[in-house]
Structure 1
């Protein structure tokens, strides 16, 4: 049976994070409507900073060369992340990820419907032969889930195999990536994701 949980990779090494927010809605019809709204917001990556609030990082979908484009997310798309503070030299100041997989089940008559989106760190598309441009290495994934179960709608993000990116990165990026990865491990990235998950479900 198809399930959102089946699309979250296994935890093998490094850190694991799970952040979620949910809303109970009066009727199944209203819950389905909220699910559709939240699903659209999840795909609208370039607006994530608006849903998450003024302290959010900035997100932007790009083409294969790293140029910003405005569109709803699809598998294979790239997006850049502009975190507060100095970005990685390898990424020209941005973290870079690729949308590796998306899965969607939409059926308002069913008890459950969901969309999942899994992303993975990659090299800067403007310098694809260079090191991964992200504070986590290529083994890490983040899986975003918007799901309706009966009258409950939830938004969550699940980090797996989160290990600091320190391979072939140069001294500045090695130190930077280690500091940010340790900060994330200590929970300093949680407010960003909590705000976004809540923002996806704002009515």
Structure 2
């Protein structure tokens, strides 16, 4: 299976990839109101785990200086991720990604928001290694979209390779987690997030 080619999402060149999507159908009369709920959830990073349950990773939102924030994300912010299992020694048990782009498309029949994240150092450390199990070349591209009668959440991983620019113990940890992620374990976590964001009950 080949990765989808979606405007704004990097092309797949090397390593693993995944396309993880969930959809929910609504009457056209209520689609705008439901999309507003989805937008609020999508941009409330600190609450993602609340929407997804105990099986989900925990996500926290930080600004470019490493301060915890409760607001709509902007380019240059960071997301701290606590995944189930061992964390990095580099960043006190966490993985970090930087929000490198946020884009919005709006036409008569389609609207979407895309947030692109890339593995990064912890924001409050001037020196050190990438604090993530994937290398800096990887991206996680999170998209919500609205069409005439359905909503969609998609997470698209591209160019996913283990991060070996790390301390020795983190190299071992990164290899095993990245290997598992490229063979489906990561897709399970992203599916939990996609489904959770669309569960308005």
Would the TM-score normalized by the shorter structure come out above 0.5? yes
TM-score normalised according to structure 1 size:
0.91
DSSP-derived class of the 2:22 partner: strand
Deviations 1:153-189 (A, max 9, x none): 100000000010012x121000000000011112112
Matched-pair contact (CA < 8 Å) for 1:52–1:192: no
Matched-pair contact (CA < 8 Å) for 1:34–1:201: no
More helix by share: 1
Equivalence for 2:168: 171
Number of residue pairs the alignment of both structures matches: 196
Structure 1, unpaired ranges of 5+:
none
Equivalence for 2:156: 158
- The answer to whether the aligner puts 1:59 opposite 2:59 as a matched pair is yes
- The answer to whether the aligner puts 1:189 opposite 2:186 as a matched pair is yes
Structure 2, unpaired ranges of 5+:
none
Moved more, 97-106 or 146-155: 97-106
Give the deviation of 1:38 after TM superposition. Answer: 1.0
Which of structure 1's runs of 4+ aligned residues deviate more than 6 A? none
Pairing of 1:5-20 with structure 2 (within 5 A): 5-20=6-21
CA-atom RMSD, angstroms?
1.5
DSSP-derived class of the 1:91 partner: coil
DSSP-derived class of the 2:172 partner: helix
Equivalence for 2:98: 98
DSSP-derived class of the 2:65 partner: coil
